[in-house]
Chains A and B, each alone.
Chain A
């Protein structure tokens, strides 16, 4: 009978364990409350009453154990098991956290490494890539490289001995018509050596013959593999067939192999190659138009080639002083030259992710130390029993290495997963060779090395902490409060310092981005749309034919409903392209320095169309035709530079453009950032396309001002142009704002990348601070309990616990200030409108970090304040 009753009670307990636990807690709580109330009504102060009640009760956790035991041994066993699982689970979650943190750090590093490797480190995709060189003519006076004139190039080719092969090209675009829709492709007029220099031979057919460098009548073309597939469906009989390029038939003589690509080709990989001999300027020494590439002889160095070409250029300067006086030549390694401009920004990016990795490692080391403190009993016992320190260190390193390799695998997957996004973002940002970015073998090797390095370093820090615990008191369980832990303080400080540096850098980049975004080019882009008049060159050669086409186009488009005005210009504002010119005052003394100015050739009504202010004088009009007095307009910067406060209207400029001539200034217009949005306007000159020598100038960018509230006239514009010329390829009608936004892609890429890294670092740092304080609270539960029992308030304990995280955070932030200043210096070239040392930004970022760090420290400290002294005093925290 008694047995039956016990059994029933047990079953009830087993079935309703949760209910039992709740009931038990409620019952004990009721008792405590009732006793406390009685004490209070007996005149004891509330806080003291509560403390006394708890103390006399003697710890509810232990009591609960006894109660469970009283209710039946099985339940007790179950709970004990649960506890063991919980501890094991805690260790598992620590491992999980280590893997996650490390995988994140490694993944981000691998992604950036793959960009860096492709753009900066990976050899060019050509045979013997280290022998490829780039050759520029050089203005010795301005110390500025420029393109090479055709005759100079041919002299380089015939006189140089250090170069095995040398080639030149010029990148025109071609419009392909006939047999399908008209399309615009990039092209190159290249000398016969080009394929030898690049180290490629046509897959079918031949390359160019030396004779074709000078032959004006051989219309032959070599085409790229993709174009061959597109227009000839990959038929081998394409060789020998004709292709219409810009309205003229060329015979296809060769097809390049599949996948052939050269990052050296500027501005983009050509799809069509034609001989340089067809260029009308090929016999000139004053047309500086060619991009020159060379391949060194085995054994020759860049330095030798540079000296030799310099000597050849000097000889040419004395032979042809009219055209070549003051012109030198420079040779540099091609890879070096292609990567030079991107190097600082990509290294800055690499520094950012390394800082992130450091934060991640500090985090992991913190987690590991937490783990070895938990296992200190195990380690101390083994040390006491005679295990060598090396053995313990080896064990910790090995354990962590496994986690590290796991993290490397996940990080590699992470990087691979982001490849598409990376390629897209990097190409939009104009990072060289972005399309070649692969998260491949090299990245994998680096990932493994990084993970080994990180896990061993972290493990050694943790192992040092573990073997320090060689203390018999630990074995006896007496030393349950670890000594002050310098390593962990240092780790938090490192995390805070590097996070601060990253955040400061990110803040600068983001501020630059917004500065740039809110910069106006000098006119309101909102009502402007633009498109390119890509009419076939042969039927519309530069000169009167093209001019009359663009006149008709402007006329038709201006008449469209919703269009206020239309005009043309040679280079769109802020497009990154342009032309420059040297001018002098006509009355200036001979030999006085010329002023380099940005030149734009514009159509009638351009100023009104784009919305430029006319500060003084008049706009170009129908009077300004060929034969009428030569006129130009200048911008305010140029007016200031040349005339100070004097009135420039009516003054005459001496302009050197092959031949020298004079022109009268008829207008001063507002400054516009013609070259790029981030470059403030300098002196600028505007010339009418209706007068020599601008008549042959190509003004192909159509600019249209749309009336307020009118619908987009994009399709009407395209229809009107097609009506004028059916063979015009479909080029998009873009809002001017889109064109300008193109200048923002690179800053956006850097700002977004670094900001992402900074936020991740901040999260990791807060996580690290939180974790450290949480384990400090757990380890010092007994100490904190004693303090509470001795009358410390919850607030005192909270502050004491939070200090474990807050003090190192603040120390780290202080140490991070020089780092943050350094990050500003590293980013100097990427900044716009913000100084590299920006104290308000730094202060804001620092305060923000301090707040987050302190919050991360206070959160786990709240648990400390809730410690039940009766529990902790009865039960030492033994694991």
Chain B
């Protein structure tokens, strides 16, 4: 199996927003969801997940609510706010533009004369 890719700076927030946009998730759930939706290609450092969650909550992009987990334990569930939905759309658009641009750049071939 391929080694999970390193996360690019600035992408964690976006991935979290994406993960919780589908349905409210607790922190661990966010982690699992990102793995799942990226087909295990992305590995989030556990230590950086929560600072990101708290930062997003602090910025009002997600909101937290206590609820029951699958095995009926008390857990904190995060869901997207209106501001978060808007931000996710912006980030996704920005990311896609960037990814296209980088992809195009990497696929370009050099003129032979310069070899």
Contact = CB atoms under 8 A, between A and B. Distances in A.
B51 A27 contact: no
Given A31-B28, A66-B51, A67-B51, A9 B57 contact: yes
A77 to B, nearest CB: 16
B89 to A, nearest CB: 17
Interface in A71-113: 71-72
Interface stretch (A55-63, A294-302, A849-857): A55-63
B69 A34 contact: yes
A723 to B, nearest CB: 89
B74 interface: yes
B33 interface: no
12 contacts: A2-B59, A27-B27, A27-B76, A31-B27, A31-B28, A31-B50, A34-B28, A37-B71, A56-B46, A66-B51, A67-B50, A71-B58
A871 B95 CA distance: 36
Contacts of B54: 67, 70-71
A56 B45 CA distance: 8
Contacts of B69: 30, 34
What 6 pairs across the A-B complex have the smallest Cβ distances?
A: A5-B60, A70-B54, A58-B47, A34-B28, A70-B55, A66-B51
Given A27-B27, A30-B28, A57-B46, A6 B75 contact: no
Contacts of A63: 47, 50-51
B18 interface: no
B27 to A, nearest CB: 5
A195 interface: no
Interface in A112-128: none
A26 B64 CA distance: 14
Given A37-B71, A58-B45, A58-B46, 18 more contacts: A2-B59, A2-B60, A6-B58, A6-B59, A9-B57, A9-B60, A26-B74, A27-B75, A30-B27, A30-B28, A31-B26, A34-B69, A59-B47, A66-B47, A66-B50, A70-B51, A70-B54, A70-B55
A635 to B, nearest CB: 86
A9 B58 contact: yes
A5 B62 CA distance: 11
A57 B47 contact: yes
Contacts of B3: none
Interface string A1-27: 010011001000000000000010011
Contacts of A67: 50-51, 54
Interface of B: 26-28, 45-47, 50-52, 54-55, 57-60, 69, 71, 73-76, 83
A56 B44 CA distance: 11
A9 B47 CA distance: 22
Nearest to A69: B51
Nearest to B52: A70
Interface of A: 2, 5-6, 9, 23, 26-28, 30-31, 33-35, 37, 56-59, 63, 66-67, 69-72
Contacts of B50: 27-28, 31, 63, 66-67
Contacts of A2: 59-60, 83
Contacts of A27: 26-27, 50, 75-76
Contacts of B28: 30-31, 34-35
Nearest to A66: B51
A58 B75 CA distance: 21
Contacts of A34: 26, 28, 69, 73
Contacts of B59: 2, 5-6
A586 B69 CA distance: 109
A54 to B, nearest CB: 10
Given A63-B50, A66-B51, A67-B50, A30 B26 contact: yes
Contact of B75 (A30, A37, A72): A30
Nearest to B32: A38
Nearest to A57: B46
Max chain B C-beta neighbours (<10 A), residue from A27, A58, A67: A27
Contacts of A30: 26-28, 69, 73-76
Nearest to A6: B58
Contacts of B51: 63, 66-67, 69-70
B58 A70 contact: yes
A9 B54 CA distance: 10
Contacts of A69: 51
A437 to B, nearest CB: 67
A57 B69 CA distance: 20
Contacts of B27: 27, 30-31
A58 B46 CA distance: 8
B86 to A, nearest CB: 12
Contacts of B58: 6, 9, 70-72
A443 to B, nearest CB: 63
A28 B54 CA distance: 12
A57 B27 CA distance: 13
Nearest to A874: B47
Contacts of A23: 76
A5 B55 CA distance: 12
B107 to A, nearest CB: 36
A231 B27 CA distance: 95
Max chain A C-beta neighbours (<10 A), residue from B50, B75, B83: B50
Nearest to A35: B28
A18 to B, nearest CB: 16
Contacts of B47: 57-59, 63, 66
Contacts of A35: 28, 46
Nearest to B60: A5
A387 to B, nearest CB: 40
B112 to A, nearest CB: 48
Nearest to B56: A70
Nearest to A870: B47
B22 to A, nearest CB: 19
A35 B28 CA distance: 7
A64 to B, nearest CB: 9
Max chain B C-beta neighbours (<10 A), residue from A23, A66, A72: A66
Nearest to B70: A34
A573 B57 CA distance: 91
Nearest to B47: A58
Contacts of B57: 9
A6 B58 CA distance: 6
Contacts of B26: 27, 30-31, 34
A137 to B, nearest CB: 96
Contact of A6 (B45, B60, B71, B76): B60
A57 B52 CA distance: 14
Contacts of B73: 30, 33-34
